[in-house]
Structure 1
């Protein structure tokens, strides 16, 4: 992480590979402090919530979550963070809800057969149309909360972002953005970053790292001076 970022805000990754909204429920109180334990802790400023690709696995597979339960879980996570009545309420937090992107079936079929998947079943754990249903549900949840909170919750439609970058939903067009048909390449993760930063820049300028003041100044070697403002290199690099 850039030194300029660390002097402004701590960025904590709490992503767990393979997890769903259901499996992550017991982890919530290990990630966010309850009201009675928040005193003296740095305030939570921004939370990204990104679920759906695993939840959308077809019924009968280990990761599959019913669509209605997926919606309930997203609502639970958001309400915990932004509703003052919640024991996990984070007074300063803004939330970006990220939708699942499409996946590339042809690439999934090319992957080595996992030990738990029987021959002939590879790639059948997901369908594009079921994933689309979860994407649409995610968008609906995000839009509802954005209206309810006057923009404190924002939505990143990653499906649209990825498809726009690829040019279509066709497998051949999407392939350059994926490593295995499910996980994104660095160039596609750059799209995620840029999408989040676009929301921050347009909606929450106080969280814009290019404008945010450092909490600890930077000493400039050889000059004896101290700097309080720097633009993180990531924001100057073109995708």
Structure 2
């Protein structure tokens, strides 16, 4: 296959977003990044990791829109709905099962699998729609891409498997075709990015035009300031 079709989702604790590449494998171009927040007068590389469901547990909205909709609800209406904010770390340190429930802002519970699945489904659908508007009408489906999904390094195997199952239920990859989904550890992804940076302003010693991956023995620290 001569083309490199990749969608990478950064599913963050506080903010989430995605980048994509639809180039031939021999092209060296930077991936495209979706910009969020125009509906609230912002331009940010990620959207808040917030999701809103109605009283029947049906998906309503994600990101800035979910936050705005929930905050403008009156008391009774807000109590009826399910609003989840910064819910990713609900998986950390817990026994992960398909029936695990997490609490919404109003204390009501919903199965974590549904919350994570619908969040990933939204990001998948938004990515495919956004790509279609920038490819002169060419239609892509989820199966045209290799998908990358980031997870914290501190998560155990069960939490990572949970995310893989949620991605499958969201329609990101067909069941049984796990080769199309790459689960990437967040610090490893950050390290790969840093290794491509030019040395100027990143490597203290004078190394000319070398990048980090061309400077063996260089030690560096990556700090997540989220």
- Shorter-chain-normalised TM-score: which range? 0.3 to 0.5
Structure number with the bigger relative contact order (C-alpha 8 A, sep ≥ 6) is: 1
TM-score by length of 2: 0.33
TM-score by length of 1: 0.32
- Relative to its length, the structure with more helix (as a share) is 1
- Relative to its length, the structure with more strand (as a share) is 2
